C-alpha cells in the first residue's frame, strides 16, 4: 500500500501522466477496418443503405436472434424512431436512473416521461412500482437494461399485458447479453442498441432498432429515410436517421473483435472485484455467470458510513490522479431540465434512484486499459480508504 502522503490530493505526483478514461473506444483490427474503408471509397457508395449497412444489420440480427435489425445513425434517433413506430403517446413510464436520452426521446415528441424507481439490487425498473404509476394516459413502458444486466422482462411483460401497454427496451448497454439464455434484442415489441464510441462494440456513432415485428420494422425503415418507398415515392412521415457506410464498417470490425473485447472486460472486472473485495464500504456489481455478458461496466457502490469517504470524495481522489471515474447516472434524469422544472415532485417517489445517484460510480475498463493500470487504480482506492480520515480532512 502507498503512503497516503504520496497521493496527489496531498501534493504527490499523479499516478497517470495521461487521463485514464471510462469508455475509451475499442478499435479492433485496423487492417480490416482500413480495407473496408478502401472498399467504400472504391464503390463511391457512402450512405443510403449501402452494402456495409446491410451486412452490419444482418450480423447484428443474427447475433441477437431477431428477424429485423434497422441500423440508425445513433442510439437517440433510434429511440425516437422506435417510439414513434410503436405508436406511443400521452405518458410513458421510464426509469430516472438512466442516461437522459431515454427521457429526451419521449419529450422531444411531446410524450411525457413518467419517472419510476428501480430495484436496489438490479438498478432496473421495478415492475411493482411501474404498475402503481399507470394512469389512463399511459401508453407504454420503456425498460433500460442497465450495465448490460437485463430487466425483469417477465415482470414488465405481465404488467404491460394486463394494462394493455406497449413494452419497449433501451438496450444500449446490452449488446450480446442474455436473460434466461435468450439474447437481448427480441424482448418487448422492440429494443434499441447503441454503438456509440464509448460502447464495447462501436460504430463511431451508431444505433439500431431490433424487433420481430414486421410492421414496426417497416415503419422504422421508412422513418429513417424521409418516408421514401423507392425512388421519388414518399409514403410516410420520416426523418434522416440513416447510418453511413463508414460507421457500418467500424461496427462490423468491432463485432469481429467482440470476443477479445469481452475477454478484456471480464478480466478487468474480475481483477477489480478481487482487489476491492476487502475494502470496507465498497461493492462491485455482479454479473450472472450463467448468462452472456459483455462485462463492459465496472460499477462500484459506496457505503460512506463504512468506507469513511463518500462516493464523490473517492471520485475526487481518483480524478486528482488522472483517473477519470464517472458518476453514473447522477443526478438522475428527473433532476435535469426540462423535467426538473416540469416535474419538481418526481423525486418523492424515487428513493432508490436518489440513493444510487449519490453512491454509484464507474471505473476504467476496456481494451485501452491494462492489468497494471487496474492494479494502480485499486492501489489508489485502497490507500484512500485505509487513510479515510486524513483524506476526508484534506478534501
Each residue's pLDDT expressed in tens, for the chain with a length of 395 residues: 778 889 999 999 999 999 999 989 999 999 999 999 999 999 999 999 999 999 999 999 999 999 999 999 999 999 999 999 999 999 999 999 999 999 999 999 999 999 999 999 999 999 999 999 999 999 999 999 999 999 999 999 999 999 999 999 999 999 999 999 999 999 999 999 999 999 999 999 999 999 999 999 999 999 999 999 988 999 999 999 999 999 999 999 999 999 999 999 999 999 999 999 989 999 999 999 999 999 999 999 999 999 999 999 999 999 999 999 999 999 999 999 999 999 999 999 999 999 999 999 999 999 999 999 999 999 999 999 999 999 999 99
Residue 115 sits in the same domain as residue 245 = yes
Count of positions (residues) in the chain: 395
Give pLDDT, residue 241. 97
Asked, for residue 349, whether it belongs to a domain, the answer is no
**C-alpha cell, 273:** 472485484
Asked, for residue 296, whether it belongs to a domain, the answer is yes
Give pLDDT, residue 116. 98
Which one of 218, 238, 256 terminates a domain? 256
Calpha distance 175→47 (Å, rounded): 24
Domains: count for the chain: 2
CATH of the domain at 271: 3.90.1150.10
Residue 34 sits in the same domain as residue 145 = yes
Which one of 221, 256, 291 terminates a domain? 256
Q: How would you write the chain as a 3-class SS string? A: CCCHHHCHHHCCCCCCCCCEECCCCCCCCHHHHHHHHHHHHHHCCCCCCCHHHHHHHHHHHHHHCCCEEEEECCHHHHHHHHHHHCCCCCEEEEECCCCCHHHHHHHCCCCEEEEECECCCCCCECHHHHHHHCCCCEEEEEEECHHHCCCCHHHHHHHHHHHCCEEEEECCCCCCCEECCEECCCCCCEEEEECCCCCCCCCCCCEEEEECCHHHHHHHHHHHECCECCCCCECCCCCECCCCHHHHHHHHHHHHCHHHHHHHHHHHHHHHHHHHCCCCCEEECCCCCCCCCCCCCEEEEECHHHHCCCHHHHHHHHHHCCEECECCCCCCHHHCCCHHHHCCCHHHHCHHHHHHHHHEEEECCCCCCCHHHHHHHHHHHHHHHHCHHHHHHHC
Calpha distance 288→39 (Å, rounded): 40
Residue 91 sits in the same domain as residue 203 = yes
Give pLDDT, residue 4. 86
Asked, for residue 183, whether it belongs to a domain, the answer is yes
Residue 241 sits in the same domain as residue 280 = no
CATH of the domain at 83: 3.40.640.10
Contacts of 100 (CB under 8 A, 6+ apart): 333, 336
Count Cβ atoms below 10 Å from residue 368 Cβ, excluding itself: 15
Residue 287 sits in the same domain as residue 249 = no
Asked, for residue 316, whether it belongs to a domain, the answer is yes
Residue 44 sits in the same domain as residue 74 = yes
- Of the CA atoms within 13 Å of residue 177, those in its CB half-sphere come to 26
Asked, for residue 343, whether it belongs to a domain, the answer is no
Asked, for residue 231, whether it belongs to a domain, the answer is yes
Calpha distance 265→257 (Å, rounded): 12
Residue 116 sits in the same domain as residue 206 = yes
Residue 78 sits in the same domain as residue 11 = no
Structural domain for 307, as ranges: 4-25+258-325+364-394
Residue 90 sits in the same domain as residue 234 = yes
Model pTM score: 0.96
Residue 76 sits in the same domain as residue 134 = yes
Residue 281 sits in the same domain as residue 132 = no
Residue 246 sits in the same domain as residue 272 = no
Asked, for residue 57, whether it belongs to a domain, the answer is yes
Asked, for residue 332, whether it belongs to a domain, the answer is no
Which one of 256, 282, 305 terminates a domain? 256
Amino acid at each position: 500500500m502507498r503512503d497516503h502522503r504520496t497521493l496527489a490530493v496531498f501534493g504527490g505526483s499523479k499516478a497517470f501522466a495521461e487521463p485514464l478514461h471510462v469508455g475509451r473506444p475499442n478499435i479492433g483490427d485496423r487492417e480490416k477496418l482500413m480495407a473496408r474503408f478502401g472498399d467504400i471509397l472504391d464503390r463511391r457508395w457512402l450512405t443510403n443503405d449501402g452494402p456495409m449497412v446491410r451486412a452490419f444489420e444482418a450480423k447484428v440480427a443474427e447475433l441477437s436472434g431477431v428477424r429485423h435489425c434497422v441500423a440508425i445513425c445513433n442510439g437517440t434517433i433510434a429511440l425516437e424512431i422506435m417510439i414513434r413506430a410503436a405508436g406511443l403517446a400521452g405518458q410513458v413510464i421510464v426509469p430516472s436512473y438512466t442516461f437522459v436520452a431515454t427521457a429526451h426521446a419521449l419529450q422531444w415528441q411531446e410524450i411525457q416521461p413518467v419517472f419510476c424507481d428501480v430495484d436496489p439490487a438490479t438498478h432496473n425498473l421495478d415492475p411493482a412500482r411501474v404498475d402503481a404509476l399507470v394512469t389512463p394516459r399511459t401508453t407504454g413502458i420503456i425498460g433500460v437494461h442497465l450495465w448490460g444486466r437485463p430487466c425483469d422482462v417477465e415482470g414488465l411483460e405481465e404488467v404491460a399485458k394486463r394494462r394493455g401497454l406497449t413494452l419497449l427496451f433501451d438496450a444500449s448497454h446490452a449488446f450480446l447479453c442474455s436473460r434466461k439464455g435468450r439474447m437481448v434484442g427480441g424482448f418487448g415489441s422492440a429494443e434499441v442498441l447503441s454503438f456509440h464510441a464509448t460502447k464495447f462494440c462501436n460504430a463511431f456513432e451508431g444505433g439500431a432498432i431490433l424487433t420481430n415485428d414486421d410492421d414496426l420494422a417497416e415503419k422504422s425503415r421508412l422513418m429513417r429515410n424521409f418516408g421514401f418507398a423507392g425512388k421519388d415515392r414518399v409514403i410516410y412521415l420520416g426523418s434522416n436517421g440513416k447510418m453511413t457506410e463508414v460507421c457500418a464498417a467500424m461496427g462490423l470490425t468491432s463485432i469481429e473483435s467482440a470476443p477479445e473485447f469481452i475477454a478484456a472486460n471480464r478480466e478487468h472486472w474480475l481483477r477489480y472485484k478481487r482487489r476491492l473485495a476487502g475494502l470496507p464500504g465498497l461493492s462491485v456489481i455482479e454479473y450472472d455467470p450463467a448468462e452472456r455478458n459483455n462485462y463492459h461496466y465496472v460499477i462500484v457502490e459506496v457505503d460512506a458510513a463504512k468506507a469513511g469517504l463518500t462516493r464523490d470524495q473517492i471520485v475526487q481522489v481518483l480524478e486528482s490522479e488522472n483517473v477519470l471515474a464517472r458518476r453514473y447516472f447522477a443526478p438522475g434524469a428527473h433532476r435535469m431540465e426540462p423535467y426538473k422544472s416540469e416535474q419538481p415532485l418526481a423525486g418523492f417517489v424515487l428513493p432508490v434512484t436518489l440513493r444510487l445517484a449519490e453512491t454509484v460510480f464507474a471505473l476504467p475498463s476496456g481494451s485501452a486499459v491494462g492489468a497494471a493500470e487496474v492494479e494502480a487504480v485499486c492501489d489508489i482506492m485502497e490507500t484512500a480508504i485505509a487513510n479515510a480520515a486524513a483524506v476526508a480532512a484534506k478534501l
